Amino acid sequence: MNKLKKSTIFAYIVVGFGALIMLAPFYFMFIFATHSNGDILSVPPPLWFGSELMNNIDYLLNALPYFWHNVGMSFYIAIITTALNLLFCSMAGYALAMYDFKYRNVIFAFIMGTMLIPPFLGMIPTALVMKYLGWLNTPKALYIPMACGAMGIFMMKQFITSAIPKELIEAARMDGCNEFSIYWRVVVPLIKPAFGTLGLIVFIGQWNNFMGPLVVMNDMKMFTIPLALRSLQGTGMTPWGAICAGAAIAVIPLLIMFTLSSRRLIDGLTAGAVKG
Amino acid sequence: MAAVTFSNLKKRFGETEVVKSFDLHIEDGEFVVLLGPSGCGKSTTLRMLAGLEEISDGEIFIGEELVNELHPMERNIAMVFQSYALYPHMTVKENIAFGLKMTKVEKDEIERRVKLAADMLELTPLLDRFPKALSGGQRQRVAMGRAMVRTPEVFLFDEPLSNLDAKLRGSMRAEIKSLHQELGTTTLYVTHDQVEAMTLADRVVILKDGFIAQVGTPKEIFEQPANKFVATFIGAPEMNLVNAKLENSQVIIGEQTLALPTTYQDQADCALGVRPSDLYLNPRAIESDAIGKLTVNIDGIELLGATYHIQGTLNGSRFVADIATSDETDVTQETGEVELFFDLHRVHLFDNQEGNAIRPNLN
């Protein structure tokens, strides 16, 4: 009993320490958003909220005249990319999970293989393709190449395999559903938890995406939030307070989303691990 | 309603042929059960009729129509699955109505048919529940309701009771039987449970390794098995089979001889089959003009409630007798050897080479 208690206390200390390290940057981001550059760069740095928040926001909005447009762009691109991923990944996952067709396993292995390629390798070719298509500085240059991904397909396939028995699909077929209505009326309602999880992952990934917009967006008006904030770091004095204020604004939607749906995210990530 | 005809039906999965030349005609309104051990091809045959499995060779007709290439929906059949296959996100009512909705039946008509099926299957109070809130038996009834409302020409059942407990299975069996009597729809039912087959079927089709081993009424199957496989597959405990030879219409088992009441051709290597339930300790319990007797070495006796289960050995083969506890002879006193009596008209003979039944000479 005593031994168990000690080990539990130790585990709590380790986990608590880890959580502290993880949370420290967030904490300082919010703190620095309320301080001037001089305070931020002083030693020791401020540990509690200051009174410069409105000044920092003013500076931010002056330096980034399209800031709210940039926020809108981030939302637009993240939402469209999420929707496309949910549609295409679930369709592909469904096909790979439920249909028997030639080379199915080879195709699946190939899709999985793409996960081994570092995403940065595809960045320049993607940018060139976007240029040839005339899509530079348009949102589709970001959401079309990201419309479907190996991780999403894998997740959907695993979820569908574990959550939907083949007999259900066959029953729907016998009830008169065509292949699309089986997907739409039977599969989609049953994979909502996976939709929630994948949706969150893709949305967060796109919201935070920096490298993608960096290579296809040159017009400041079309910047997404990470790119816009990065543009404040010029050759002169970096306005850390304003950047932190912008970053804090950018992170608020994610915090709200995550707080509302963290349970679903965790459930979805572990779904299929144990057969119920 | 419609008749169903399978003609030289075959199914291959790669190199493996699981259904081999399946020929069967099911009459309009008939209840046919496909019975066999796991892997004999019964479910595959059913699924080919349903359109869920491609046909490798042969033809299937529903009525006069060749349905090989038709989509499952176009075949006008309904199927009840082993796992019920209810849509978990729909209520009972939506589950039952789903097929009708998909085929664009009018709303009023859907309401009418759902109500009719729900009343018949006593599902009316459960219509707004989701499947997870139903018991196994209730789920099974919903699956049957979903099949019923479409008024199909053929009902297919794929081991529908195998997920239920023994008691519920009995009552559901009775419900399926009465449903068939009420609707009169042609029904093909797959099971590996011989009790289901014997109680439900107008005719039973016994399958083995993709071939039809025998087709017949439950009575024919039980009393005149066509081969050793059917003889041992049907009946519990299974039929006793003892190596013997036939000479001058006498069965010779080691030192023991049985004079048969009908004439048979001589056979050097055959098997005598006697059902455990046909054996008695007391010859007076048998009403027959030809009573046979075999002496068996007792290995053990078990009391199973209504019967004693005598296990013994005869000519090197296992020999079992089910003796009613009401039998005058006190079976518990038996040790060493026991004399078992039986009606010689009820014994079976099988050719040991092919395994086929040996029939008596006609004249």
CATH number of the domain to which A200 belongs? 1.10.3720.10
User: Counting every residue, how long is chain A?
Assistant: 276
Measure the CA–CA gap between A38 and B6, rounded to whole angstroms: 89
Q: Are B329 and B348 in contact (CB under 8 A)?
A: no
Is A53 part of a structural domain of the chain? Answer: no
B51, B77, B81: residue with CB nearest A171: B81
Residue-range definition of the domain harbouring residue A154: 65-231
Least Cα separation, residue B69 to chain A (angstroms): 14
Compute CA distances B180 → A29, B137, B154, whole Å: 73, 18, 11
Is residue A17 over pLDDT 80?
yes
Is A215 part of a structural domain of the chain? Answer: yes
**Nearest residue to B314 (alpha-carbon basis) of B336, B292, B294:** B294
Is A4 part of a structural domain of the chain? Answer: no
Q: Does B79 touch chain A (CB under 8 A)?
A: yes
Is residue A263 over pLDDT 80?
no
Nearest-by-CA chain B residue for A172: B99
pLDDT tens figures, B60-80: 999 999 999 999 988 999 999
**Nearest residue to B25 (alpha-carbon basis) of B257, B265, B186, B254:** B186
Q: Does A189 touch chain B (CB under 8 A)?
A: yes
pLDDT at A38: 83
Q: Does B52 touch chain A (CB under 8 A)?
A: yes
Location of structure tokens 């991780």 = A151
Q: Does B263 touch chain A (CB under 8 A)?
A: no
pLDDT tens figures, B81-115: 988 899 999 999 999 999 999 989 999 999 999 99
The count of CB pairs under 8 A between chains A and B is 51
Nearest-by-CA chain B residue for A169: B85
The total number of structural domains that make up chain A:
1
Measure the CA–CA gap between B61 and B186, rounded to whole angstroms: 13
**For residues B323-348, average pLDDT:** 81
Is A3 part of a structural domain of the chain? Answer: no
Least Cα separation, residue A168 to chain B (angstroms): 5
Nearest-by-CA chain A residue for B155: A174
pLDDT at A270: 53
Is A193 part of a structural domain of the chain? Answer: yes
**Nearest residue to A64 (alpha-carbon basis) of A219, A208, A221:** A221
pLDDT at A273: 41
- Domains belonging to chain B, first-starting first, are 4-228 (3.40.50.300), 238-351 (2.40.50.140)
For residues B323-343, one letter each, b for 16 or more C-beta atoms within 10 angstroms of the residue's C-beta and e for the rest, the string is: beeeeeeebeebeeebebbbb
Is residue A276 over pLDDT 60?
no
Is A48 part of a structural domain of the chain? Answer: no
Is residue B296 over pLDDT 70?
yes
pLDDT at A105: 94
Q: Name the B residues in 147-176 with CB < 8 Å from any A CB.
A: 150
Is A217 part of a structural domain of the chain? Answer: yes
pLDDT at B363: 61
The whole-model pTM stands at 0.79
Q: Which residue has the higher pLDDT, B306 or B71?
A: B71
The percent of residues above 90 in pLDDT, for chain B, comes to: 66
The amino acid that residue B33 corresponds to is V
